[in-house]
Every structure is written in C-alpha cells, then in structure tokens.
Chain A
C-alpha cells in the first residue's frame, strides 16, 4: 500500500514532492558521508561514520519505497533516474565534504533540522509517514549524540580547531534557509492533515536550536538570506557531478540487473 492512496491527484503530487524532499536529503547526505570511508581522521570514527552514512541511505531507500511505483521500477529508479532539476534536496547536502569540521557541522545542523521534521512526521495523519518516522528516530538520535560529541571534542581542541569550526558554521549558515524555505504546496499538506504544521514554520525554532547547541562551545550561527533553492530544483554543479558519479555503472546499462 503506497502513501496517499486516499488523496486526489493534486494532493498526491504534493505529497510526492514532500516525500522527495525527505528522501533526497537523506540520499545526498548519505552519499556525501560515504565519501569519507577509508579517509576519516580516526580509524574508529571511519567505522562509526560509515554506519551513519548507511543509516541515511537506508532512510532514503525506505522513504522512496513509500511512493507509488506504477512502472514497478523500484526505489533505484527514483534514486538514480532523475536530473538535478527534479531533485528536492537542500543544496546544503550536496556541497562537497570539505574538511572534517565542515562535514561534522553540516551533518549536525542537518540532524537538528531533521529532528524537528521527524517530530511533525510522528504526528502525521498518514500512518505510513508516522511509521517511517518511528523507524528513523532512534538512528537520528544517535547521529545527534555523535555530532554533539565531536563538536565538543573539537571546540575544546585549541584555537585552530575552533577557527575551522566557525568557518564551517558560517558556510552552513549561508545554506540553511533552504532547509525550511516556504514552499507553495506546504499549506495543502497541513489542510489535509498530512502535517500538523508547514515545514517552514520550523525556521525560527531551528535557528534557535542550532544557536543554543553551539553557543556554549564558543560558536555563532548567523544564517543568511538569500539562500539556495534546492527544494525547488535549483542545484549546483556539485549535484550534477554527484548524480553522474552515482549513476555511472547503472547507466552503462539501465535495463540490466545489477
């Protein structure tokens, strides 16, 4: 049973857009996280971060799987088969990994946003979304603990580390509004009870939550506008390259079984 089967065509399309924002965020971030594999700064952390990458990719797999699939081509068609303008992830997640400070800060800030989003999903009128949120919640809590622990460790690690962290926070701040930009179709999801509130309503509390988390470490979060429009399909060359890499083998023969 796919999501939104009781809804009319217009609402099903809106719900699809929304689920794609969730799933694409997770897929793109998971892919970026996986690029650290074998090169993380501590061998133990390499193992831990690879689990986090798998969590995100598996979440994407689960979320894509909620969508109706009339052609029967499965979740891989959604993950591998779209052009950048059809992707709905926030641009924050397609940025290259940069240094460890950027990757940790980017993931942590995203996790704070995701936590707010998941709280809404747990109250969704759509049971499949509630179940999805319940399944993701435990792993996302680990991600928050992991990120917070790393930030504390690095922030206490001397002026050079602190400088790198602040530079990372500034870069992430420039992209953050994309996570909660008001979108034309949000209201429709609230009206029909899929969401208890529009995602964009979280912007203020998100910014406050990030600031509260990092201020004790001597860091400042000053988000900027304008910010990118990833939710509306406006992406960077980085995403095009990411998707091309991801699809390299599969597209050598899309009909083949891999």
Chain B
C-alpha cells in the first residue's frame, strides 16, 4: 500500500503577491491536502490563495552540492556591468550620466 503522500503548501499573502512556501502536510490525495492546508496554514487569514503540490512533482536544485548561477561572472547581465556609460556621456557635454 502506498504511504500517505507529502504535499508542499504555497501561500499568497495578498492579491498580486508571489506564492511562497509555507509548510508541508500528509494527506491521501490532493483534494484532502487542500482542505487540510486551509486550516493548518490559513486559520488566521494569513493568505488569500493556496497551492498544494505533491512532493514527487517537485524537482530540486542545486544537485550534488553544485551552486546555482553561472560559474564565471556575467556582468553584462547586471547594471553594474555598464558603469562606463557615465564617463562616455561626458563627451557630449552636460551632466555626467546623460541626465539634464
């Protein structure tokens, strides 16, 4: 016989907010997991919406201790990679950085 599954619970604190992990529970199926999640995690009106996800559906990174993110710096993905533009604006007169 299968054991009772673990369901991970995600809650949204207010409309438009991200769904964040709030805990986990045991239940026979997703319907019961949702019914239980309401009272386990939302009996003080902490959330406006809930997701329950069966744990086997979740895949996890990092794997085998390898950190996430690129191995080498990719500064062109960040604003700090373009600090030079401040100086380049000077060639055109006016304020540094291009703003009047």
**Residues in chain A within 8 A of chain B (CB atoms):** 42-45, 47-48, 50-51, 142, 145-146, 149-150, 152-153
Contact = CB atoms under 8 A, between A and B. Distances in A.
A149 B26 contact: no
6 contacts: A42-B26, A44-B26, A47-B40, A48-B35, A48-B38, A51-B43
A150 B43 contact: no
A149 B39 contact: no
Contacts of B32: 149-150, 153
Contacts of B36: 44-45, 47-48
A153 to B, nearest CB: 5
Interface of B: 4, 25-29, 31-32, 35-36, 38-40, 43
Given A48-B38, A149-B31, 18 more contacts: A42-B26, A42-B27, A43-B26, A44-B25, A44-B26, A44-B36, A47-B36, A48-B35, A48-B36, A48-B39, A51-B39, A51-B43, A142-B35, A146-B35, A149-B32, A150-B32, A153-B28, A153-B31
A44 B31 contact: no
A150 B43 CA distance: 20
A47 B26 contact: no
Contacts of B4: 42
A45 B28 CA distance: 11
A42 B43 CA distance: 18
A51 B35 CA distance: 12
B40 A149 contact: no
B27 to A, nearest CB: 7
A48 to B, nearest CB: 4
A47 B39 contact: yes
A150 B27 CA distance: 11
A48 B38 CA distance: 8
Contacts of B40: 44, 47-48
Contacts of B43: 47, 51
A142 B31 contact: no
B29 A153 contact: yes
A244 B32 CA distance: 36
Given A51-B43, A149-B32, A150-B32, A44 B38 contact: no
A14 B32 CA distance: 41
Contacts of B38: 48, 142
Most chain B CB within a 10 A radius of its CB, from A142, A149, A153: A149
Q: Which 6 A-B pairs have the closest CB atoms?
A: A48-B39, A51-B39, A44-B36, A149-B31, A44-B25, A149-B35
Nearest to B7: A44
Contacts of A48: 35-36, 38-40
A79 B31 CA distance: 35
A187 to B, nearest CB: 40
Contacts of A43: 26
